[in-house]
A and B are shown apart, each in its own frame.
Chain A
Amino acid sequence: DIQMTQSPSTLSASVGDRVTITCRASQTINIWLAWYQQKPGKAPKLLIYRASSLESGVSSRFSGSGYGTDFTLTINSLQPDDFATYYCQQYKTYPYTFGQGTNLEIK
């Protein structure tokens, strides 16, 4: 199975900051990576697919990059609504696997 490792596990930031979350795959997944945002008690929401494509309706403050094994999610100008947990997911091969999550909290 492909292991997905996110860092950091917890990230403290302030409104207006720019933050970056990284995700590393244990083997190459080309561009087959997605990023999700999840708030407590809610289903995840797709933000980025194919490593860098922005899902329709998602703010352009979110961006993704990377190829192969190393990927990043960047959030510009943090807004109060952005404080949540973020997950990466590979969908190159089954079983699809998620990173362990990054909890973005208000500093």
Chain B
Amino acid sequence: QVQLVESGGGVVQPGRSLRLSCAASGFAFSNYDIHWVRQAPGKGLEWVAVISYDGSNKFYAESVQGRFTISRDNSNNTVSLQLNTLRADDTAVYYCTKAPQRWGFDSWGQGTLVTVSS
């Protein structure tokens, strides 16, 4: 079955960096765009970034543009999200999601919590 497993979250000081990973299995990974969505404690969902199925296209939310970088390794079925210059308002659970074309986010990981605090 489809599985998406995030890792790499933790507590980090403002201004520091963190790298999140999403390991995928159970589907043809290289055929799908992968997105990151985050949710601050007690708040709603916020789309963060996407990488196309072949890695050729990437888009970011304005709130993370220039600080976060998304990448993928289709040989290892993984997607990474590099978080730089972290701020307190980046504190959230980060989910990776699979998105068939024009379908919506049909599979989600369990999320990984990033806490930015001094």
**A-to-B contact residues, CB < 8 Å:** 1, 32, 34, 36, 38, 43-46, 48-50, 55, 87, 89, 91, 94-101
Tier of interface size on chain B = 20 to 34
Q: How far is the CA of A105 from the CA of B81 in the complex (A)?
A: 35
Q: Which of B104, B105, B108 has the most chain A CB within a 10 Å cutoff?
A: B104
Known A43-B109, A46-B106, A55-B106; judge A95-B59 contact (CB<8 A).
Answer: yes
Is B74 close to A, CB under 8 A? no
C-alpha spacing A73/B34, complex, angstroms: 26
Main secondary structure of the interface of A (DSSP, over half): loop
Q: If A32-B102, A87-B44 touch, does A94 touch B111 (CB 8 Å cutoff)? A: no
> Do residues A44 and B108 form an inter-chain contact, with CB atoms below 8 A?
yes
Q: Using a CB–CB distance below 8 Å, which chain B residues touch chain A?
A: 35, 37, 44-47, 50, 59-62, 95, 99, 102-106, 108-111
Also in contact, A98 and B110, with CB within 8 A (given A32-B102, A46-B105, A89-B104): no
Which residue in B102, B103, B110 is a CB contact (below 8 Å) of A43?
A: B110
With A44-B108, A94-B59 as known contacts, state yes or no: A50 contacts B102, CB within 8 Å: yes
Q: A95-B47, A95-B59, A101-B44 are in contact. Are A43 and B104 (CB under 8 A)?
A: no
Knowing A43-B108, A44-B105 touch, does A95 contact B61 (C-beta < 8 A)? yes
A45 CA to B110 CA in the complex, in Å? 11
